[in-house]
Structure 1
Amino acid sequence: MTALSQLTFTPSRPLTLGVELELQLVSLRDYNLTRAATDLLESLRYDDRFGEVKLEITESMIEVNSRPRDDVAAIGRDLDGLRDVLVSHCQRNNIAICGGGTHPFQHWPEQRISPGERFAFLNQRYGYLSKQFTVFGQHIHVGVPSGDDAIWLTHAFNRYVPHFVALSASSPFLDATDSGFESARLNAVSAFPLSGQAPDVADWAAFTNHMGLLQSCGVANSIKDLYWDVRPKPEYGTVEIRVCDTPLSVDRATELAAFAQCLARHLLRERPAVAPAMQALVARYNKFQACRFGFDAGLADPVGRRVVPLGDDLLRLLETLAPDADALGCRLQLEGLRDLAQNRQGDAVWLRRTAADVGNFHDLTRAATERFAQPSRY
């Protein structure tokens, strides 16, 4: 096993993007989750120019990964291409693909751990939590040129974790019950001991020393063991944002990627002061607020010693990022998020409204599969 303290950061082009989507596999018979990922992948043939399709921790999940791209339009084409292949292949097997951060009515004890050494290790270490981890997220990678930049951007992004949560929230239902949360998914992630905010380390050398300590103490074998909200990914040369629910559409996924890219450009260009230790005092509270109340959350500002309405702060931020969106060619995607924040009509609202209209969770899930199958408008 290579000592983590010897890790090197592989530079990448600044602001390059990559997106991972964890997707639900549901039966066309009853729209419950179905344990089909291994069989599907064994028979799946696809053009890998759009990216990769992979197993996730349980057999009712499947993950798609875009290629590293310079712009959001290319990310959208990748996700569209992967989605189309999966929708077509799954339909031939009486299965549908669905977005959303949780399945509305599945029972975690019925899930089966996927084959593979990594998944077996997680099951052995975390017990029942590994099956409860049948929740679905979007991870966004942003390229940076150095390890020091990666650590700085990790800390800078942490201030905006609640904003990503509110924009992506799509998991109001859990165990056939309205959880009262906009994002119930992140409660499952928070159960893991290495979740939460990254520690206050100053630079890449300090980070590798910290990781070496964790490895020596048996806490973490690799960076994969860290379920931080935002973490560096040295082999890719990126910073990875991990708090988003999987959206109900490819459009929303590309909008979130645009937000991450614009925010990274703004932060790296302006280099505002960051206060990781101060943010750590309120990080769990602020994430809870966003999960519970979405755009209506009240965020604790430890520097200003005040409460900041998340929805108002987000609209100001999106306005600030407009020049970055123009420079990056993603103004339309950012405007989509601005409309979302103004109207406060995100995916969680759509799920609740649709559930009330159709009257049951099976037809709700069917409607969500139909929404995810729609071609992107960008």
Structure 2
Amino acid sequence: MKAGVEDGNGDIVVPLLIGNGDEIIDHKDNDHGFVSGSTSFFKTCFNSVNALSGVGILSLPHAVSSGGWLSLIFFFLIAASTYYTALLIQRCLDMDKNIRSYSDIGGRAFGSKGRAIISIATNIELYLVATGVMASFVLIGSVLWAAVFDGIGFHGKGTFVNLKGFPIAVSLYAFCYCAHPVFPALYNSMKDQKKFSKVMLVCFLVTTTSYASMAVLGYLMFGSKVESQVTLNLPTSKTSSKVAIYTTLVNPFAKYALMLRPVISALENHLTSSPSRGLSVLIRTGLVLSTIMVAVAIPFFGYLMSLVGAFLSVTASIILPCVCFLKISGIYRRFGFEMVLIWVIVLVGGVILVVGTYTALEEIIDHL
């Protein structure tokens, strides 16, 4: 197994798990001259679920607590919307086989400014996010075990709806669906790219099921008393709790270097065409120190995740795929159902971005 690598713009261009024998088999398209991968359908499914599964699962019970049971409607609406925008990314890639990354989509749609906007948004998001499919399933199993076998039970009292907490809840839901920047890499790595839509269907069904399971389990167990990370509610003396806590601790460390590699590459290429070893060490040290300072300065997990969800995840996973597809396809010139649907998604995403970002910043400032 090999880790993903990046192109000159700091974009991930091959998946975490690749073709048979862990070797990349390059195929040249005679019409476009691009290089495609050899990753199987099932490996691409695994990579996609791995990319979409992350630490956001810890905050989902808190999200339901913030908005009430009714807020789960927005969870499934966000899941459906981000699945649709993932398919829009695929359609952009199908239109121009020279597109190799998410930044390329922005460049194809809006030139250098579009490329820069998408590159900045996605790199900041990668800077703040760590992912992991196995960790998600281990966490769900540990929490379920604690409820059934460790005596916690399902006695939490929750509320049906809490309109005041809706912005935080919806922002946290959006944070869970922030893998769109890596979807072009997964698409280009596939041996049979026509099956990518099926990959996305499997990916979103698996992750949405796991996310919803954790949200419901955690809220039924602890109700309105659930913490911003559900692991904080678990009794530390129990083995299941220790497994969940250790998984939470190990997962970011295991993914830290991988998630920051595109950011490092982008910074190095922006500062100089041939970075020296000293500059590379300086950049890496600066990023490590800066992430530590961010973690220390803003130790409010739930509010920080809601800020990232509202400002970055909504931008990268909902708004940008829509506007880029409108521009590349030219569909904005033709009035029809899909054009209206896309503009509605953009409008709703804009509302979530503004209201969610404002609410999250307000909560963070109040708790400083």
Q: Which band: TM-score by shorter chain?
A: under 0.3
Relative to the length of structure 1, the TM-score reads 0.25
For the pair shown, the structure with the greater C-alpha radius of gyration is: 2
Relative to the length of structure 2, the TM-score reads 0.26
Greater RCO between the two (CA within 8 Å, min separation 6)? 2
Q: Which has the higher strand share?
A: 1
